[in-house]
Amino acid sequence: MKHTVSQLKLDSGAEGLLINVPDASVMTFELSFRAGEYLVEDSKWETPHLMEHLLLGANQFIPKARAFQAEFEKNGAYNNASTNAYDITYEAECADFEWERILHLLLVSISKPLFLEDEFIAESGNVKEELASRSNNHFRHLSLALKEKYGYVAKTDQERLKLMKNVKLADIWDHYNKTHTLTNLRFVIAGKITPNRQKIVKALIESLDLPKGNGRPKLPHEVPKKLTSPLLIKNTSVDTIYFYIDSFLKRKLTDPEADALGLVNTMLTETLYSKILGTARERGLVYGMNSGYGQSYESSNWWFGSQVMKENIVPLFQIIKEELTKVFNGELANDDVAEAKQYSLGRFQRSAQTVAGIMSGYSNRYFFDGVIEDYYQVPDRIKKIEKDTIIAVSRAMFEDGIWGLGILGNINDDVALELKNQLKGLWRLK
């Protein structure tokens, strides 16, 4: 969808992006504060999450959570919120005809919450249910346990459940007052934004009744640590093996490097004809497999993970090792690179078919490090990816020697160690 982007830096200290999509019939909103778990002590870990649950509830305009939701949703509008280690983000989507009413309600909920005792008790129960249900997700459990082991800001859902009793209503208020300030606010709004609507948006956010604050809190200092032994979570009730392989680079990637790593990731696991997943499927070893890359403030991570039967994990690891070694050695066919580019271009085009899809193409990066992506340059960036860059960034992701293996399932320490030893040659690149 065609769109234009403008940045607003308001006198209040808030900053954001307005994405004008002239043909849009909906308006989407994301408002984010750096207010995640890294800003509270470990014993109060669930404070940001509980606050997020409470905030889109009773407020000075409508002093009852259910009544607020009824008013918000009466014309089919949607709202939600999410908490992670760094941020709390509030989101909404509505029909174009009621965008101003919905934005007003969203801003009221953010600036005038009541945090009622009875709703705190109710949402505490709801959060417990949420964490309990998530704790049955073995991929999530293993991923969070690994992040914590590597030294990142993370706790498993099982740990979080035990810590919930430490959070009091006063902690909610304290965290809210410290984090929900104008200079800590970043927003992205997408839809049909005419010049007049831009003035209304600016006026509504400028008038937001929050303290000015002291800017955005700095992101945490997270330096990944190599695991000297595999992280093994033993679970005798699980018949298959869940695993993650992680490798870290002690710096952020440049945009061309990130583009190249994304492309080789596609070549290895993202399709049923990819080098790792396609080969493993052809041999009947695994139903599905994923990989991906991510970046923190000071490091980059490339990971591979799957759920596999015990008898198939050794041959699967062999395929992973062989295909990565081929990449390191430059054994990439030009036709394979070209096909991966075509696939990536098509996937990008599909992602840009909705207002929400366009907005997410900007908001994640903007909230993280303030960078405004040039959406229209993405196809050219994909086309310009060079084979040499793919090889170089793939090798770089393994050259610092910081890595780890996590396994969840019914296996013993000796088997886990054998699996680690099967992989360790990948990090002998220097």
Do 262 and 192 share a domain, yes or no?
A: no
Do 315 and 405 share a domain, yes or no?
A: yes
Q: What is the CATH number of the domain that holds 54?
A: 3.30.830.10
Q: What is the pLDDT of residue 56?
A: 94
Q: Of 190, 206, 222, which residue is a domain's last?
A: 206
Q: What is the pLDDT of residue 353?
A: 86
Residue 301 near residue 261, CB atoms below 8 Å: no
Residue 231 near residue 407, CB atoms below 8 Å: yes
Domain annotation covers residue 224? no
Domain annotation covers residue 217? no
Question: Regarding beta strands 15-20 and 185-191, do their DSSP bridges make them parallel or antiparallel, or are they unpaired?
Answer: parallel
Domain annotation covers residue 378? yes
How far is residue 29's CA from residue 224's CA, in Å, rounded to a whole number? Answer: 34
Q: Of 206, 241, 264, which residue is a domain's last?
A: 206
Do 170 and 103 share a domain, yes or no?
A: yes
Q: Of 206, 240, 267, which residue is a domain's last?
A: 206
- Which of these, 203, 81, 225, 256, lies nearest to 152 by C-alpha position? 225
How far is residue 329's CA from residue 387's CA, in Å, rounded to a whole number? Answer: 12
Q: What is the pLDDT of residue 411?
A: 94
Do 372 and 423 share a domain, yes or no?
A: yes
Helix (H, G, I), strand (E, B) or coil at 315: helix
Domain annotation covers residue 169? yes
Domain annotation covers residue 214? no
Distances (CA, A) of 231 to 4, 152, 200, 312: 47, 15, 53, 20
Could you give phi then psi for residue 194, rounded to 5 degrees? Answer: -75, 165
Q: What is the dihedral of CA 146, 152, 153, 158, to 10 degrees?
A: 10
Q: What is the pLDDT of residue 351?
A: 84
In the structure encoding, which two tokens stand for residue 403, read together? 């890595």
Do 198 and 267 share a domain, yes or no?
A: no
Do 16 and 93 share a domain, yes or no?
A: yes
Do 196 and 327 share a domain, yes or no?
A: no
Do 278 and 369 share a domain, yes or no?
A: yes
Do 187 and 236 share a domain, yes or no?
A: no
In the structure encoding, which two tokens stand for residue 397, read together? 């992701």
Could you give phi then psi for residue 327, rounded to 5 degrees? Answer: -65, -45
Domain annotation covers residue 274? yes
Per-residue pLDDT of the chain (430 residues; tens, 9 = 90+): 799 999 999 999 999 999 999 999 999 999 999 999 999 999 999 999 999 999 999 999 999 999 999 999 999 999 999 999 999 999 999 999 999 999 999 999 999 999 999 999 999 999 999 999 999 999 999 999 999 999 999 999 999 999 999 999 999 999 999 999 999 999 999 999 999 999 999 999 999 999 999 999 999 999 999 999 999 999 999 999 999 999 999 999 999 999 999 999 999 999 999 999 999 999 999 999 999 999 998 999 999 999 999 999 999 999 999 999 999 999 999 999 999 999 999 999 888 889 999 999 999 999 999 999 998 999 999 999 999 999 999 999 999 999 999 999 999 999 999 999 999 999 975 4
pTM value > 0.85: yes
Q: What is the pLDDT of residue 352?
A: 82
Q: How many domains does the chain have?
A: 2
In the structure encoding, which two tokens stand for residue 186, read together? 């970043």
Domain annotation covers residue 197? yes
Do 186 and 239 share a domain, yes or no?
A: no
DSSP string computed for 399-420 = HT-EEEEEEEES--HHHHHHHH
Do 182 and 244 share a domain, yes or no?
A: no
Computed from CA positions of residues 133, 139, 143, 149, in that sequence, does the dihedral angle turn out positive or negative?
Answer: positive
Do 353 and 411 share a domain, yes or no?
A: yes
Domain annotation covers residue 215? no
Helix (H, G, I), strand (E, B) or coil at 132: helix
Range of the domain at 389: 231-427
How far is residue 235's CA from residue 216's CA, in Å, rounded to a whole number? Answer: 41
